[in-house]
Amino acid sequence: MLPSVNPERPGDITFGPPPAAAPIPAADQPEQSEKSGQSGEPGERGQGSADSSADWLALPDAVRDRIAELAASALGKLPPADVPRQLRPVARFAPAKRAKLGAVPLLTSLGDTPRFRTAVLEWLREHRQDALDPNAEDTVAAAAAAVLLGESSAASRVRLVAKNAEETTLRAERDAAMARAQRLEAEVARLRDELDRAHAETEQARGEREAEIDRLRGRLREQGVVLRKAKDAAEAARGEAEQAGQQRSAEIGDLTAQLERERQRAATERARAERAVADAEVARQSAREAREADEVRLALLVDTIEGAVGGLRRELSLGSRGLRPADTVRGASAGPGSVGRVQDPVTLDRLFALPSVHLIVDGYNVTKTGYAELALADQRERLIHQLAALTARTGAEVTVVFDGAGVVSVPATAPRGVRVLFSDPGVLADDVIRSLVAAEPAGRPVVVATSDRAVVDSVRGDGAYPVASAVLLARLGRV
């Protein structure tokens, strides 16, 4: 017969038939034969053998832990047939965790499954005989043994353990309360000492404050005397200040009148100077207009003379220029074009040595010959800086022409000595180069750097020296 424990009062344990246990779900039913009596073993939940799991779970903590520890020790050694299905996952736990994590299912199975409880008792009798001694000196071990064995003394032993646990708890609470009371008494004593010190410091501060008040009153009386003297001195100073202010006001009035007279005189002088500047500007403008008129008359005179000379040449059928002795030699004729093409950097250097030479560069034709892999803006920048170095070395006038179509940002300034031009919308850079060559006076050496055949032919006819882009790049590489 197993002990029955009152859940509301764990110390009250009775013996007798336990109340019927709630039915276990089909998944948790212990294994048994399909037909009663065929296995030869009694059913695990037969009539009169059902125990309430609440009876075991309501035991004192120490007794419950002891029983769970013993059942856990036996669980790992029992045959699988003696282990209920709900304990098989617990049997796979490590021995140290089995009693702690599987306490509730272990105790429940001990109460619900007589076969498991019998197997545990048999294993304990064989391996842990000391654990089944109801008369052990350890009250917890004795109570656990009595409960497992169903001894009649189990109830009294469980009550003794519960009483001891309650006494231990009360003793610990009493000790804690006494320690807390001692701490409070020490705190009260400390607060009392602090209060006494604060009271003494307050009395001392009150005496010091009264002495300080007396000292301040004396200083206040002294300050009152000084203040009266200062008031008298301030009244005297105010009178002197008023008198000085009146004098200063009179002086300011005199200075203001004098300043106004000076301002009027300065305005008169400024107006006279402005009239003189205006007269000088009129004189300069008149001289400029006179000089321009003279230049226009001189230009008209020259144009008239040139027209007369041209008309005379046409009258006499002399052509545009007179023949020279070399022109009358027979047996030879001039080749096409008046100027040969520059084929090497040495010849180009000879041209740069001529006075007032003008180098005109077909920009993109040169850059795409030398470094086409760069972006157009980088091509322009590199060529312009190379030409700047060239003109600094040779002193030649340099003009570089780029096609203005598609140019987003035009550089605001160019290196000194290099003229950078971009063709207007609808105008080709080649036409700008032809216009630059045509604008130069006859006789001035003009060099055009390009590999465009049409440009070469047209500028050669106008007397310019064409040079290939590769020749110019070779010369720039030596700068």
Q: DSSP letter string over 142-195?
A: HHHHHHHHT-TTHHHHHHHHHHHHHHHHHHHHHHHHHHHHHHHHHHHHHHHHHH
Q: So what's the pLDDT on residue 327? A: 43
Please choose, from the candidates 93, 92, 86, the residue with its C-alpha nearest in 3D space to the C-alpha of residue 44: 86
Q: Whole-angstrom Cα distance, residue 370 to residue 364? A: 10
Q: So what's the pLDDT on residue 166? A: 72
- In the chain, what are the domains? 3-20+42-152 (no CATH), 345-476 (3.40.50.1010)
CA 439 vs CA 180, 443, 462: distances in Å = 115, 12, 10
Cα dihedral: 463, 464, 465, 468 (round 10) = -130
Angle subtended at Cα 253 by Cα 252 and Cα 255, rounded to the nearest 5 degrees: 60
pTM of the model: 0.34
Q: So what's the pLDDT on residue 50? A: 35
Q: Whole-angstrom Cα distance, residue 93 to residue 98? A: 5
Q: So what's the pLDDT on residue 242? A: 87
Q: So what's the pLDDT on residue 284? A: 80
Q: Which residue has the tokens 């320690």?
A: 179
Q: So what's the pLDDT on residue 63? A: 80
Q: Which two tokens stand for residue 441?
A: 């006076």
Q: Whole-angstrom Cα distance, residue 461 to residue 175? A: 126
The 10 Å CB-count burial string (b at 16+, else e) for 404-429 is: beeeeeeeeebbebbbbbbbeeeeeb
Q: Whole-angstrom Cα distance, residue 213 to residue 37? A: 111
Q: So what's the pLDDT on residue 413? A: 61
φ, ψ of residue 182 to 5 degrees: the values are -65, -40
Q: So what's the pLDDT on residue 459? A: 93
Q: Do residues 414 and 420 touch, judged by C-beta distance below 8 A?
A: yes
Q: So what's the pLDDT on residue 318? A: 54
pLDDT in tens, the chain (479 residues): 344 444 344 444 443 333 333 333 333 333 333 333 333 333 333 333 333 444 677 788 788 888 888 888 887 788 888 788 888 888 778 877 777 777 788 888 887 788 888 888 888 888 887 778 777 777 778 778 778 887 777 777 787 777 787 777 787 888 888 888 889 989 898 998 899 999 899 999 989 988 989 899 888 888 888 888 888 888 888 888 888 888 888 889 888 888 888 888 888 888 888 888 888 888 888 787 777 667 666 765 665 676 566 666 655 655 544 444 544 444 544 444 445 677 888 889 999 988 889 999 999 999 999 999 999 999 999 999 999 999 999 999 999 999 986 665 556 566 788 999 999 988 999 999 999 999 998 888 999 999 999 999 999 988 899 999 999 999 998 75
Please choose, from the candidates 442, 215, 452, 475, the residue with its C-alpha nearest in 3D space to the C-alpha of residue 344: 475
Q: So what's the pLDDT on residue 258? A: 87
Q: So what's the pLDDT on residue 407? A: 67
